[in-house]
Chain A
Amino acid sequence: MDILIDNLTIDFPTAQGVSQAVRGVSMKIGREKFGIVGESGSGKSLTARSILRLLPDSAIVRADALTFDGVDVMRADESAMRAIRGRRAGLIMQDPKFSLNPVMTAGAQIEEAVRAHSKAGRREAREKAIDLLAQVQIRDPKRVADAYPHELSGGMGQRVMIAMMLAPDPELLIADEPTSALDATVQAEILRLLDNLVSSRGMALILISHDLPLVSHFCDRVAVMYAGRVVEELKAADLAQAKHGYTRGLLECLPTLSHEKRRLNVMARDPAWLA
C-alpha cells in the first residue's frame, strides 16, 4: 500500500476569481504513521481527502500523479473508488456528534458498515460489531451497541466511529482532527488507541491536526502545510531541528507547562512563505 501524490493542485472558482486551496503538493506515504499539520485553510484536509476523491463538486483538481496502491485516483471510475473508500481506506472525522447518525444505535451503524463490506448476515454482523466495540476498548460493548449517539460521551462516540472504520479491515486510516472536539485526557486516550490499533493491524495512518507537538508525538513523519503548500517535511524525532520559520513559529507560540513565558511569541508571517 503506497500513496503517491505528485504536484497536486486544488482550485475553487469564486466570484473574485480562482482561489488556490492546494498549490503543488507532493508526498509519498507508505505503511507508516504520517502527520499533516497546518492551520485552518492550509489545505491539509483537502490534500488527504483528495486521496479518496472526497472533494466538493466545485473543486478543480490537477495532479501529475495521484495514486492509491497503484490505482489512479484521478481517472478511476466510481465503482473503483467505492472499492477503496471505506473498504481499503477509512476516514475518521472530527466530531462524532455530527458524523454519527443520531437516529440509529451505535451497534446498528457498525453492523451497517460490516454488512456493506462483507457478506455477513445479521447475526454475524451483530457479533462482529460487538467484537469491534471491545477492540476499541469499550468496557461494556453490548450496552454501547444498543445506545444512541446522544447517550454517549464524545470520547465514546469517537471510539464508535473508529470501530465503524475498522469493520472492513482497511489498510489506511485517515484521521482528520480526530480529537479536536475532545478534552485533553480523552484526546490522549483516543490517540493511544489509534496508535495501538494501527501498529497491531499493520495499517497506515494519516493524522491531520493543527497541533504540531501532539502529531509528532504519535507519527513517524510530519508534513507542515501553509497556504496550500508543504513548507517542511521532517521526521517527528527531528522536530526540534525544524528549519522553516512557520514550523518554528507553530512551536514557539504554544504556552507550555514546563517553561513559563511572560508573553507568547506571535507568529510574524513572512510573505516569502506564500511563494
Chain B
Amino acid sequence: MSTMIRVDDLGVRFGSFEAARGVSFAVEKGASFGIVGESGSGKSTVLRALSGLNQDWSGKMEIAGVALGPRRPKDFFRRVQMVFQDPYGSLHPRQTVDRALSEPLEVHGIADPEPRILRALAEVALPAAVRFRYPHQLSGGQRQRVAVARALMSEPDVLLLDEPTSALDVSVQAEVLNLLMDLQERRNLTYVMVSHNLAVVAHLCSTVGVMQGGEMVETVTSADLRAGRASHPHTRELRALSMELEEP
C-alpha cells in the first residue's frame, strides 16, 4: 500500500487565533481516516485546509506524494472531492440533478456525460427518474446521494466527508454509510471523514484522530478505541460519553 494523504505539522490561523496547530497524520490509499472532536476543536479547519477551501495555512501536505501549495492545480480538484453536511445547502435549488452532475464533467472536460450520469445515479442507488428533478423534490437521503454522486463524477481518488450524515435520520444514515463503504470497496477510494459522532467515525474509519483545542491529541485505531485502549483523557471522555448514551 502507498500513502495517499500525508499531513505534516499543519497550522491554520485566523488573525491571532490558532484554529489548528501541529496537526500530522497519514492515510494509506484505500483507507479511511476519521477526525472527531467537539465544535471548535479544529476538525473542519483541517479538512478545509486539505481541500483547498482555505488557502492560508502552514506546514506540509501531500496527496499521492505530490506536495500541495496554497493554490491547487485544476487536476487536484478532479482527484479530491468533498461531500458536505447539509444536502439542503450544498445543492443548487434552481438546478436539476442532471445539471449538478454535468457541471464537474464540463469543468474538467470529461467526455460522454450521458452514460456517466446514468452510471453515477445507478451507483448511488437512485432511480434514473431522479435525473430531471430539482433538489426540493427529493428526500434528505436522496439529496445526500446526489451530493455523493456529484463528488464521484470527476472520478476522484480522495473523498473528504464533512459530517456527511449528521443532518439525516438514523435509518437514512445507515443507508448512506453503507453506500460510502460499498463505493470505497469498488473504487478503492481514500476517505477523510470529520464527525462529532464517535460511533459513526469508528464504523467507517479504521483510524481515528481526536482533536481538542486545535491539536490532534491522539491517533488511535478504531479497534483500540472500541476496546478502550485509548490513552488521552479527552479520547476516553468522548468514548465514555458515547458508550453511556448507547446503553438504553
Contacts and interface: CB of A to CB of B under 8 A. Distances in A.
Interface of A: 39-40, 153-154, 182-186, 188, 210-214, 216-217, 236-237, 239-240, 249-250, 253-258, 260-261, 263-267
Given A258-B226, A260-B226, A264-B178, A184 B238 contact: yes
Given A257-B243, A264-B178, A184 B140 contact: no
B199 A254 contact: yes
9 contacts: A40-B140, A183-B38, A184-B38, A186-B38, A213-B246, A213-B248, A255-B177, A256-B199, A257-B199
B174 interface: yes
Given A40-B140, A211-B170, 10 more contacts: A39-B169, A39-B171, A40-B169, A153-B40, A188-B241, A253-B173, A257-B226, A257-B239, A258-B246, A260-B222
Secondary structure at chain B's binding surface: helix, strand, loop or mixed? helix
Interface of B: 38-40, 140, 169-175, 177-178, 181, 196-200, 202-203, 222-223, 225-226, 237-239, 241-248
B171 A267 contact: yes
Interface centre among B171, B181, B242, B243 (most CB of A within 10 A): B171
7 closest A-B pairs by CB? A255-B203, A253-B174, A183-B196, A264-B174, A39-B169, A239-B248, A267-B171
Nearest to A188: B241
Interface residues of A, dominant DSSP: loop
A266 B241 contact: no
A184 B243 CA distance: 12
A257 B199 CA distance: 5
Contacts of B171: 39, 249-250, 253, 266-267
B170 A184 contact: no
A186 B39 contact: yes
Contacts of A255: 174, 177, 199-200, 202-203
A82 to B, nearest CB: 34
B44 to A, nearest CB: 11
